[in-house]
Structure formats: structure tokens, C-alpha cells
A and B are shown apart, each in its own frame.
Chain A
């Protein structure tokens, strides 16, 4: 008798979120099984891989990670274009570090103008990221949402203290949002329940916050894995949104990454692939070689 390995079937799907507009729009999520379980179910959308762009010149970036962007770091628009045209990025993440109240404290309007210029200069989906300061972010992202109306940006992070403002304005202007609750499945669910009272769940991407290899990656892994399990096995529809992982900054701050380019890229790539194995659907990366390496690794898997 021929042995047939038993397969698990999950009667639900992770929601599919659409980022961006037009031909280059990207879908993430949509799977009805665990990461890379192609033998078991369907994973229609490959993981989204985004490259970071800052709206101000990076400070304290190590030589290895600054090198590829040396000629464009003073201009976010050129930086963004280089990521797409030269490094083949299919998603970008613009960080509005200029708005940090502890730093330059740029006005929401100024930041939104930059976001608009970047969004207009590229045709790939754009994530726009604040500084994690609840009050300031809600004003900054409100301005960004208005100025970039209809572009279906992914705005974040929406936190416990500002999700109402950010989700409301995203809804009015046709954007998706990142709901962030740090390292806690219960609080993640809590925020999702609150959001879904007025915001469409298919426009939410979850961020449980991520730690790099050597900085608590194991814990992050378990949280992401747990969110996916609760969504698929327990069929909890408040836990079926795609998940993002954002860890480039922490990887490149590690001693190992500062020592050599090769170590840095491996550090970031191993962290990234680990989160994909945990169930992340979208990675925000810093080094273009990491992007290339992860792309190769996951295409071989298929």
C-alpha cells in the first residue's frame, strides 16, 4: 500500500491586502496554510520586500549600508528612484524621520510634501512611516493621507493612542494602515477589534514589532508565528491580517554588521528569512544586497 502523508487543511485564508495602485500594485497575504507549505495549501502572493528611504540624511549608518546610496542620500526622490530603477525594489518604505519631535521636528506639511514628491516619482507601492510618536504621527500621517489622496499608501504605525485619527483619514483618502501593538498577541487583537469597528480589515497590515538576530529575534518569531496560528487554526478573524516585519535598523546597529559588509548583509538576510518562516508577509529591508539575497532564497524555495 502506498503511504500518503496526512495534510492539514485550514478552512480560512489570511486576508489579502493590496498595496499601491495600477500595474505595479502588490498583493500580500491570501494564504490558507503556513509559510512555504506549498505541499499543503495555497500561498498565492510571494512575500513583499520593501527597501527603506529616509527623508533626511541618515545619521550613524555604517559605511556598508550607506555605500549603495552615497550619491542619493541628500534627496529622498533620487534615493527612491535609485531603489526602484537600480536595485529593483518592488515596494518602498519612506521614513519621515524629519518629523521626530526629539529631532528636527519638521512640520506635518513639510513632511507630506516630501512624501507626495516621492510617491509621484515612483510607480511602486509606498509605505509611509512616522516616528512612533503618537500625537505627532497622527498629524503627520493625516497630512500625508490628504496630500496623497487616492494613492493607496500603507500608513503607519497606527498605535493604541492614535489609531482612530490615522484610520479615519486613511479611510477617507483610500489608504491602508499598519496596526502596531508591541510583542503581545492579546493587545494585537484588542487593537484590531477597535479598528474593525469602522475600518475595513482587508486594509490592515499587522506589526507586532520585530527584533533582529541577537536582540530578541526568538521572541518576535514566536509572536508572529502565534498570530498566524491563531488566524489559521483557531480561525480568529481578528488575527487574519498579513504581517510585516521591520528590523533593518536594528540589524545594522549590531557589532557584527558593523564589522564587515558580508556579515551585515547576512545578519539582515537571516533575520528576514527567519521572519518569513514565522509567517511575515512583508519585510522592510535596508541594504539592496539583502533584498537580492532574500529574493533568491525564496524563489529557489518555490
Chain B
């Protein structure tokens, strides 16, 4: 799976301060670290960027490009900042993100053909987030048609089914899994992407990585193309490279079997099985899902 490193994010105090002070040093650490860890893209999450959008975005893109050769995924809701970033990118960039809302269709989507960029297109539309897989399909078909007419080929579209936290609504996780299997038929040639860490939002801190890693294996099996992930979760990166096949096989087994005998498994494997069962919707989620 293609991995997009999420760690350059203004939600981090260090990053937001570095951007504010135009200080490249703290940024270098995040860029170089994620690059060395084998990320395929770097996400630059700058939020709405209400102050000096053009200047700030251009500074950040230039700064990051000074430390890495990786292509960038520009993550802002501000189309002015987005356009400034796209002008500055040396490589084919990824716009993160557009959706089926009228505003996004009008302001964000046209940037993709203009700059020959890839674009993340979420299933959200003016009615909000679709509640199940079929509604997601209906929404994305409509947005795809619009994007194609603007001149964006399916190959440049990265469909985001929108992953909600498992602790908020487990049924949405099941809907996600159902939907990604539909994508090849709905949109031949299109890619898929998600914000993986959102899955574990609100979960106990020490258990977040377990949810994220397990889900990565599950969606990879269903044909997911890429995910925005922590560029510093080494086990996740190893799993993605195929370096821990026993965990991958175990998760696949837990996806297939309803009553898996876990009594003889070591603790770590038991945890992966229980987590798979939660993410498949077989077991109700609670913060103590590993304790039962």
C-alpha cells in the first residue's frame, strides 16, 4: 500500500510554532524522519490557513522540498492556499481534499486539472456523510462524473470513503470495509485513500497503534490503494512492507473465521485477533476490548 506520512500537522504545537516563526529546523526532523522511514508521500496538514495563506503555504512547500524528494500531499481546506502550494510543488502533488459538496466542486476540484495534480475525493456531499456503503457509492458516482467532466481522469482520483472512529460508530467501520470492495467496479482505475489514525481517535492511547495496524492489513486485503498514516509507527511500516507475514496471515484468518480458537496463541497474537474481530463488527467495541 502507498503510505502518506501524516506527521507534518499544525495540530502539533512544534509544527505550528515553526511555521509561525518560519523556522525550518523543527520541520526538517519530521520530514527527514518520515522520508527515512519509507513514506511514499508527505502530507502537509496546515488546516484552514486563514492568515497569509499564499505566503505561508509557499514557504512550507519550499522548506519541505529542501529536505526531501518525496511528492507532497497538500492538506488544507483553503483553496487559495492550495493553489499557492500547487504552484510551488516540483513533483505531481496530491490535493487533500475535495468532496461532493457544492463549494468543493466549485473551488477545489478545478485545481486538479489546472495543475495536473491528483486529488483526494471524499464521499461527503451537501447532505453530509453517507450512512452506509450504498449511499457512499451513490455519492461518489455523482462526484466522479463531475470530476471527469472537468477533465480529471479516474487515475488522478483518490477516493476517500471517510473512516470514522471505531469508538464512535462501529457500523461505519463495517460500511467502510464494504464500500472499498465496491470501488474497482464503481470507478475503474481510481485509487483509494483514508486517514487511518482517525479510526483510533478516542481509544486508549497505548492501544491506538494496534487498531491502526490491524485495520491497515484488513483494508490492504480488500484492495485499498493508500493510507495516510503515522510515519513513525515502525511496526505498521514493517507490516506494510510484508516483513511480518505471520501477523498478516493471522489477521486474514480472524477475518474469515467466526469462532477462532485463541487459547494457544501468544498474547500479542491474541490482541491482533481480538482487534480484528472488533473491526469486522463481530465483537462490540469498548475501550477494554482486549480484556474480554
- Which residue numbers of A lie inside 8 Å of B, CB to CB? 185-187, 189-190, 193-194, 230, 234, 236, 238-239
- Tell me how far the C-beta of B69 lies from the nearest C-beta in chain A, rounded to whole angstroms: 43
Contact pick for A190, options B282, B283, B287, CB 8 Å: B287
The docked-state distance in angstroms from the alpha carbon of A54 to that of B6 is 56
Q: Establish whether residues A189 and B284, one from each chain, have CB atoms under 8 Å apart when the complex forms.
A: yes
Q: Provide a sorted-by-A list of 19 A–B residue pairs whose CB atoms are within 8 angstroms.
A: A185-B284, A186-B167, A186-B170, A186-B286, A186-B287, A187-B286, A189-B285, A189-B286, A190-B287, A190-B288, A193-B286, A193-B291, A193-B292, A234-B282, A234-B283, A234-B284, A236-B283, A238-B286, A239-B284
- B 257-292 contacts with A by CB, 8 A: 282-288, 291-292
**SS of A interface (majority):** helix
The docked-state distance in angstroms from the alpha carbon of A189 to that of B285 is 8
Enumerate chain B residues within 8 angstroms of A185, measured Cβ to Cβ.
Answer: 284
Counting from the closest, the 7 A-B pairs by CB-CB distance are A189-B286, A190-B286, A193-B288, A230-B284, A186-B286, A186-B285, A190-B287
The docked-state distance in angstroms from the alpha carbon of A234 to that of B292 is 14
Enumerate chain B residues within 8 angstroms of A193, measured Cβ to Cβ.
Answer: 286, 288, 291-292
The docked-state distance in angstroms from the alpha carbon of A149 to that of B288 is 32
Enumerate chain B residues within 8 angstroms of A238, measured Cβ to Cβ.
Answer: 284, 286, 292
Chain B, 239-264, contact with A by CB distance < 8 Å: what is the 0/1 string? 00000000000000000000000000
B residues contacting the other copy or chain, number (CB 8 A): 11
- B 150-203 contacts with A by CB, 8 A: 167, 170
The docked-state distance in angstroms from the alpha carbon of A236 to that of B278 is 12
- Tell me how far the C-beta of B227 lies from the nearest C-beta in chain A, rounded to whole angstroms: 24
The docked-state distance in angstroms from the alpha carbon of A236 to that of B282 is 9
The docked-state distance in angstroms from the alpha carbon of A190 to that of B278 is 14
- Tell me how far the C-beta of A30 lies from the nearest C-beta in chain B, rounded to whole angstroms: 21
Q: Establish whether residues B288 and A236, one from each chain, have CB atoms under 8 Å apart when the complex forms.
A: no
Enumerate chain A residues within 8 angstroms of B286, measured Cβ to Cβ.
Answer: 186-187, 189-190, 193, 238
The docked-state distance in angstroms from the alpha carbon of A194 to that of B286 is 11
The docked-state distance in angstroms from the alpha carbon of A234 to that of B284 is 8
Enumerate chain B residues within 8 angstroms of A187, measured Cβ to Cβ.
Answer: 286
- Tell me how far the C-beta of A180 lies from the nearest C-beta in chain B, rounded to whole angstroms: 15
B170, B285, B288: most-surrounded residue (chain A CB, <10 A): B288
The docked-state distance in angstroms from the alpha carbon of A238 to that of B284 is 9
The docked-state distance in angstroms from the alpha carbon of A186 to that of B286 is 5
- Tell me how far the C-beta of B290 lies from the nearest C-beta in chain A, rounded to whole angstroms: 10
The docked-state distance in angstroms from the alpha carbon of A194 to that of B292 is 10
The docked-state distance in angstroms from the alpha carbon of A194 to that of B287 is 10
Enumerate chain A residues within 8 angstroms of B288, measured Cβ to Cβ.
Answer: 190, 193-194
Nearest residue (CB) in A for B282 is A234
The docked-state distance in angstroms from the alpha carbon of A190 to that of B288 is 6
- Tell me how far the C-beta of B263 lies from the nearest C-beta in chain A, rounded to whole angstroms: 17
- Tell me how far the C-beta of B114 lies from the nearest C-beta in chain A, rounded to whole angstroms: 44
The docked-state distance in angstroms from the alpha carbon of A208 to that of B284 is 16
- Known A189-B284, A190-B287, A239-B284; 9 more pairs at CB < 8 Å: A186-B167, A186-B170, A186-B286, A186-B287, A187-B286, A189-B286, A193-B288, A193-B291, A238-B284
Enumerate chain A residues within 8 angstroms of B284, measured Cβ to Cβ.
Answer: 185-186, 189, 230, 234, 236, 238-239
- Tell me how far the C-beta of A222 lies from the nearest C-beta in chain B, rounded to whole angstroms: 11
Enumerate chain A residues within 8 angstroms of B283, measured Cβ to Cβ.
Answer: 234, 236
- Tell me how far the C-beta of B204 lies from the nearest C-beta in chain A, rounded to whole angstroms: 11
Enumerate chain B residues within 8 angstroms of A234, measured Cβ to Cβ.
Answer: 282-284
The docked-state distance in angstroms from the alpha carbon of A185 to that of B167 is 10
The docked-state distance in angstroms from the alpha carbon of A59 to that of B22 is 63
Enumerate chain B residues within 8 angstroms of A194, measured Cβ to Cβ.
Answer: 288
Chain B, 44-67, contact with A by CB distance < 8 Å: what is the 0/1 string? 000000000000000000000000
The docked-state distance in angstroms from the alpha carbon of A189 to that of B283 is 11
- Tell me how far the C-beta of B274 lies from the nearest C-beta in chain A, rounded to whole angstroms: 13
Enumerate chain A residues within 8 angstroms of B291, measured Cβ to Cβ.
Answer: 193
- Tell me how far the C-beta of B285 lies from the nearest C-beta in chain A, rounded to whole angstroms: 5
- Tell me how far the C-beta of B175 lies from the nearest C-beta in chain A, rounded to whole angstroms: 16
- B 102-123 contacts with A by CB, 8 A: none
- Tell me how far the C-beta of B208 lies from the nearest C-beta in chain A, rounded to whole angstroms: 16
Enumerate chain A residues within 8 angstroms of B292, measured Cβ to Cβ.
Answer: 193, 238
- Tell me how far the C-beta of A53 lies from the nearest C-beta in chain B, rounded to whole angstroms: 35
Enumerate chain A residues within 8 angstroms of B287, measured Cβ to Cβ.
Answer: 186, 190
The docked-state distance in angstroms from the alpha carbon of A230 to that of B167 is 16
- Tell me how far the C-beta of A95 lies from the nearest C-beta in chain B, rounded to whole angstroms: 30
Enumerate chain A residues within 8 angstroms of B282, measured Cβ to Cβ.
Answer: 234
The docked-state distance in angstroms from the alpha carbon of A111 to that of B222 is 60
The docked-state distance in angstroms from the alpha carbon of A234 to that of B282 is 7
- Tell me how far the C-beta of A141 lies from the nearest C-beta in chain B, rounded to whole angstroms: 24
- Tell me how far the C-beta of A31 lies from the nearest C-beta in chain B, rounded to whole angstroms: 19
A187, A190, A234: most-surrounded residue (chain B CB, <10 A): A190
The docked-state distance in angstroms from the alpha carbon of A194 to that of B288 is 8
Nearest residue (CB) in A for B171 is A226
The docked-state distance in angstroms from the alpha carbon of A245 to that of B288 is 26
